[in-house]
Amino acid sequence: MNTLFRKQLMGGASATAALAFVVLAWVSLPQFRSQVPLPTDETAARLAFAVQWLLVPGWMLLAGVFGASRRGFYADAIEGTRTPAAHTLEINLRYNQNTIEQTILAAIAWTSLAVVLPHDELILIPAMAVLFALGRITFWIGYVLHPMGRTFGMSLTVLPTIFAFLALTWMALT
């Protein structure tokens, strides 16, 4: 078996595991409805609710920024080049770039969902925030261990957003 095919299989298995995790989270949602107080059923309160949960991606990005800034004081990274000698700093920079991208997509999806979801389904937003945090953490750790190790975390981060965009598009077209 060639190396590329082995990597593709490993990536596919990781993405499938993340999909199973997302489905399990969705199926478990009814158990957590009483744990998260939902906003009043007014547009402003719904949007404020979504924005409140956007603190989670914000914290994930802030952690990456702190990680990169801390690495910048070491001899192998102090020059500040875009391609630092420190492999760990390069991973931090890639984590930060990808987290910015994922945060923008999540912000679009979550604020849109806040407006159009039935009130009792707003629980999806905090669930997506938890999956986002777990996805970013496992992406970062996996990336440090091996570049292919980031697949599970990437999938865990992006799959809820993809599902949200698909649902929002469906609602807009029907």
What DSSP line would sit under 25-38, residue for residue? HHHHHHHHTTTSPP
In a domain, 64, yes or no: no
In a domain, 5, yes or no: no
Q: Angle at Cα 64 formed by Cα 62 and Cα 17, nearest 5°?
A: 110
In a domain, 17, yes or no: no
* pLDDT for position 77: 55
Domain encompassing residue 112: 41-57+94-173
Please tell me the pTM assigned to this model.
0.90
Residue 97 to residue 23: CA distance in whole angstroms: 27
> How many distinct helices (H) and strands (E) make up the chain?
6, 0
In a domain, 22, yes or no: no
* pLDDT for position 1: 66
* pLDDT for position 140: 95
- Count: domains in the chain: 1
Question: Per the structure block, which two tokens stand in for 5?
Answer: 């095919």
Digit-by-digit pLDDT tens for the chain (174 residues) are 688 888 888 889 999 999 999 999 999 998 888 889 999 999 999 999 999 999 999 999 999 999 988 865 655 555 656 666 677 888 999 999 999 999 999 999 999 999 999 999 999 999 999 999 999 999 999 999 988 899 999 999 999 999 999 999 999 999
Smallest CA-to-CA distance from 136 within 149, 121, 148, 154 is with 154
* pLDDT for position 154: 97
In a domain, 143, yes or no: yes
Residue 128 to residue 130: CA distance in whole angstroms: 5
In a domain, 28, yes or no: no
In a domain, 6, yes or no: no
In a domain, 62, yes or no: no
